[in-house]
Structure 1
Amino acid sequence: MATATSTWLTPPTRTELIENLVSGVDRYNPSNVGILEDYLYHQIRSQEYDCLANLAILKLYQFNPDLYNPDVVVNILLKALTAAPFPDFNLCISLIDDRPVNANPDEPDPLPQLLPLLTNLHNLIHQCRFPAFWTLYRSDSLESIRENYTVECIGFEDSIREVVARAVRATFTRIGKERLGSYVDLQGEELEQFAARQGWTSDSSNFVIPSNPDNQIEAIVVQESIKLPQLSKVIAHSTKTQ
């Protein structure tokens, strides 16, 4: 957990320039928003992720409504989906609830229409309803997200599958192939290769997940030691209150 927190605070791929913008007073300088937006698109193209840098963009949009770019916001939310079960998506939502209205009638703001759909995707991931997630993601209602956004987000679907893998690793010691296939939206050889990359072995109908601290159920025996003087005080107090 400490390692995950450290990586979240300071991703190893973050440059010194971005570190100065995120950690220093310059994070509130609106002239730097272009640098942070370029960094976001670098994340999209390279399958990297930096939540704090993306939150800095949303904070600048809050303070400077004229800088607001709805496409940037949608991309930030899509990257946050891949961080589940961490609370990145909700952190982003908290900064865009009072989003400005796009004043340009020639470029309508897509966010009001897409935000409920993205929120539904997040809820399904958070609830580990993975088959329902893929059904919604592949549906006609999310066609605009797939064609305009996730198609540009390198490795988006694979990143979601890694979210699923973390949940499976923490929950199962053995899982049926058909069930896992519905969780990760893969079948046949692609499913076998996915499981192999996770280090999971297989038999005719199941994948076997190696033991780890999260998927092992161990009985815990709790013993309490009460000394006689303490017990005498409890009995005496009980007698007085009757």
Structure 2
Amino acid sequence: MVSASSWVRPATRTDQIENLVSGVGKCFNRNVGLLEDYLYLQIRTEQYDCLANLAILKLYQFNPDLYNPDVVINILIKALTSSPFPDFNLCISLLDDRPPSVNPDEPDPLPALLPLITTLHSLLQQCRFPAFWQLYNSDKAESLRDNYTVECVGFEDAVRDVVIRAVIPAFKRIGSDRLSSYLYLSGDDLIDYVGKLGWTIDQEGVVVIPPNADNTIVSTVVQENVQLPQLTKIITHSQNA
């Protein structure tokens, strides 16, 4: 999981992009092409820069003629796996209501895909991981898979990262079948994935997660030090009550 400082300024962000994101340059229409190119670099290389992508949506908001639905969908796809940061909701807040495309040759795919992407995000937020994979692999999501996430390098692994971030603090031991449904992995693929995490699978098929600060119960002893004058006041108060 990225730190807050990395979220504000990813190490992969160039000085040129930093000037567009942080300076007045992001307000100029001519810069949208640079930001869009940077987005597609993120798509191809597993990089991610939320603030740069938000700058694109802001430019679209003030300049409707620049609007590119494919860019918007790719931004939402990248934000989908940003949990626990609120990137997806930030992106949604910058989307305007748009009328259906009047060009039958180039229909706008966003109105049809936005409810689907929003539902996928909700399922991840609710930790309903098997339901996420079921919807994502359904016929309903075929267009999203074939036209967008297939181009987003490491998308499914990024979803699995979200799963792991939820599992680590919640479990010490989890059945391999259950984890398989969470990760959409089975057989050797699941074994290899668990091994890369440094986890083990026992003879009963239970995945053992190493202890961490969140999944380990630590007993604490609270000792109150009541002085004699305080005790006297308590007894006197109870007798007068």
TM-score, structure 1 length as denominator? 0.89
Report the CA distance between 1:107 and its aligned residue. 1.3
Q: Counterpart in 2 of 1:136?
A: 135
Report the CA distance between 1:3 and its aligned residue. 6.5
CA-to-aligned-CA distance 1:2-34 (integer Å, 9 cap, x gap): 971011011111111111111111111111000
- The residue type paired with residue 153 of structure 2 is I
Percent of aligned positions that are identical: 65
C-alpha distance in 2, partners of 1:40/1:148? Answer: 16
C-alpha distance in 2, partners of 1:233/1:104? Answer: 83
Contact 1:65 1:100 in 2 (8 A): no
- The residue type paired with residue 206 of structure 1 is V
Q: Does 1:79 align with 2:78?
A: yes
For the residue of structure 1 that corresponds to 2:148, the secondary structure is helix
After superposition, residues 81-96 of structure 1 pair within 5 angstroms as: 81-96=80-95
After superposition, residues 99-178 of structure 1 pair within 5 angstroms as: 99=98, 102=101, 104-178=103-177
Q: Counterpart in 1 of 2:180?
A: 181
After superposition, residues 1-242 of structure 1 pair within 5 angstroms as: 4-99=3-98, 102=101, 104-204=103-203, 205-222=205-222
Q: 1:230 to 1:70 in 2, by over 3 A?
A: farther
* Aligned alpha-carbon RMSD (Å): 2.5
Report the CA distance between 1:85 and its aligned residue. 2.5
C-alpha distance in 1, partners of 2:54/2:237? Answer: 56
CA-to-aligned-CA distance 1:81-131 (integer Å, 9 cap, x gap): 111232111110011144576554431111111111001000000000000
- The residue type paired with residue 50 of structure 1 is D
- The residue type paired with residue 158 of structure 1 is D
C-alpha distance in 1, partners of 2:128/2:225? Answer: 44
C-alpha distance in 2, partners of 1:27/1:100? Answer: 26
Report the CA distance between 1:226 and its aligned residue. 7.0
Report the CA distance between 1:173 and its aligned residue. 1.0
- The residue type paired with residue 10 of structure 2 is P
C-alpha distance in 2, partners of 1:16/1:28? Answer: 17
C-alpha distance in 1, partners of 2:26/2:43? Answer: 21
Contact 1:36 1:54 in 2 (8 A): yes
C-alpha distance in 1, partners of 2:70/2:28? Answer: 21
Report the CA distance between 1:225 and its aligned residue. 6.2
Report the CA distance between 1:208 and its aligned residue. 1.0
* Runs of at least 5 residues in structure 2 that lack an aligned partner in the other structure: none
For the residue of structure 1 that corresponds to 2:159, the secondary structure is helix
TM-score, structure 2 length as denominator? 0.90
Question: Size of the alignment, in residue pairs?
Answer: 240
CA-to-aligned-CA distance 1:164-209 (integer Å, 9 cap, x gap): 1111112111111101000000000000111111111121211111
- The residue type paired with residue 199 of structure 2 is W
Q: 1:63 to 1:187 in 2, by over 3 A?
A: same
Contact 2:8 2:51 in 1 (8 A): yes
CA-to-aligned-CA distance 1:117-174 (integer Å, 9 cap, x gap): 0010000000000000000000000000000000100110011011111111121111
Contact 1:44 1:153 in 2 (8 A): yes
